[in-house]
Amino acid sequence: MPAQYDARCRERERECERNRVGAWAKSVRKL
């Protein structure tokens, strides 16, 4: 995972965790 994304993530951990799961699900669907 890119460092920039991680840094942003720490700013709002809870919201980001949701986004991270959503992004992961989207990437999995592409495969």
Question: CB pairs under 8 A, 24+ apart, for 6-15?
Answer: none
5 pLDDT tier (thresholds 50, 70, 90): low
Average pLDDT score over residue span 4-29: 75
Residue 11 near residue 19 (C-beta atoms within 8 A)? no
Domain with 15, as residue range(s), is 1-31
Q: What per-residue confidence (pLDDT) applies to 16?
A: 67
Average pLDDT score over residue span 14-23: 78
Provide the mean pLDDT of the chain.
Answer: 73
pLDDT at 23 over 70: yes
Q: How many distinct structural domains can be found in the chain?
A: 1
